[in-house]
């Protein structure tokens, strides 16, 4: 689905030159859940910004379904963005919009209005009773579930997650992981999951790439600990982890 072909990304101004990514080559398959790990400054978020078409590579190409993202028209790029959902670390909900309006935002931007679809997504993330509530009344975990509902509302083929559990406690982290597994089963998106939490990556990802100072230094295939029973409760999960 996605081919990252010798991609580099540099940022520079008069004073600073930063090589965020250097010569990355990687293929991401349709419906795969791939993890990206690395320390702060390793280029994880830059890679996600490139995949979300928020930035263009300095060198190299990114091909989505064989189309070079730098060669397509602005209109086509907008269409392509509709097929990409992004979940942020800090949720990025609009505080002055209700939960339902936040979830409906991607639809609204493409000129659609579908209250049933919004309700369906809120039911999917278990927040249908919070539709008319403002984000300030939600816990961190609930906010992230709203953000996931928003990212999924257009039924994206690619779901990008930028450290979505980093600001959550263990219980909410577990719930978010379970929700992402459920979303993958229901909608089958390709998921690129960026995190520095190895435990979280182990629970979710089938394959993991490791970045260090902008370079791809390793790929781990067939992750051993991936469990797909998303009905597992939090405490079953805790006991299971302690036994390992």
Residue numbers at the binding site for other proteins (CB under 8 A)? 52-54, 77-78, 81-82, 86, 88, 90-92, 94-97, 105-106, 108-109, 134, 136
Nearer CB in complex with other proteins: 88/234: 88
- The CB-of-217 to other proteins minimum distance in angstroms stands at 27
Instruction: Assess contact for 59 and 8: CB atoms under 8 A.
Output: yes
Nearer CB in complex with other proteins: 82/207: 82
Alpha carbon of 214 to those of 9, 10, 24, 48, 192: distances in Å?
A: 9, 10, 8, 13, 17
Instruction: Assess contact for 8 and 24: CB atoms under 8 A.
Output: yes
Alpha carbon of 96 to those of 102, 151, 156, 189: distances in Å?
A: 9, 19, 25, 30
DSSP 56: -
- The CB-of-229 to other proteins minimum distance in angstroms stands at 32
Nearer CB in complex with other proteins: 134/234: 134
Cα dihedral 114, 100, 179, 26 sign: positive
- The CB-of-216 to other proteins minimum distance in angstroms stands at 24
- The CB-of-238 to other proteins minimum distance in angstroms stands at 31
Nearer CB in complex with other proteins: 133/220: 133
Nearer CB in complex with other proteins: 91/193: 91
- The CB-of-189 to other proteins minimum distance in angstroms stands at 16
Instruction: Assess contact for 84 and 34: CB atoms under 8 A.
Output: no
Within its chain, how far is the Cα of 222 from the centroid?
20
């Amino acid at each position: 689905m996605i081919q990252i072909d010798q991609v580099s990304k540099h940022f520079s101004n008069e004073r600073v030159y930063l090589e965020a990514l250097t010569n990355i080559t990687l293929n991401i398959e349709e419906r795969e859940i791939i993890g990206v790990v690395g320390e702060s400054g390793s280029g994880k978020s830059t890679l996600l910004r490139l995949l979300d078409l928020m930035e263009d590579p300095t060198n190299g190409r990114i091909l989505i379904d064989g189309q070079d993202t730098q060669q397509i028209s602005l209109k086509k790029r907008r269409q392509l963005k509709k097929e990409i959902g992004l979940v942020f670390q800090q949720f990025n909900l609009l505080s002055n919009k209700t939960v339902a309006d936040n979830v409906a935002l991607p639809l609204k931007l493409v000129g659609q209005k579908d209250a049933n679809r919004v309700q369906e997504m809120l039911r999917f993330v278990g927040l249908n009773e919070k539709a008319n509530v403002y984000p300030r009344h939600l816990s961190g975990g609930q906010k992230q579930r709203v953000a996931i509902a928003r990212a999924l509302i257009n039924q994206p083929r690619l779901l990008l997650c930028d450290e979505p559990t980093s600001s959550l406690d263990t219980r909410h982290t577990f719930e978010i992981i379970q929700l992402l597994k459920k979303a993958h089963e229901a909608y089958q998106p390709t998921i690129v999951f960026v995190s520095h939490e190895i435990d979280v990556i182990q629970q979710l990802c089938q394959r993991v790439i490791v970045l260090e100072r902008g370079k791809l230094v390793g790929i781990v295939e067939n992750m051993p600990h991936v469990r797909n029973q998303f009905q597992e409760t939090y405490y079953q999960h805790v006991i299971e982890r302690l036994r390992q």
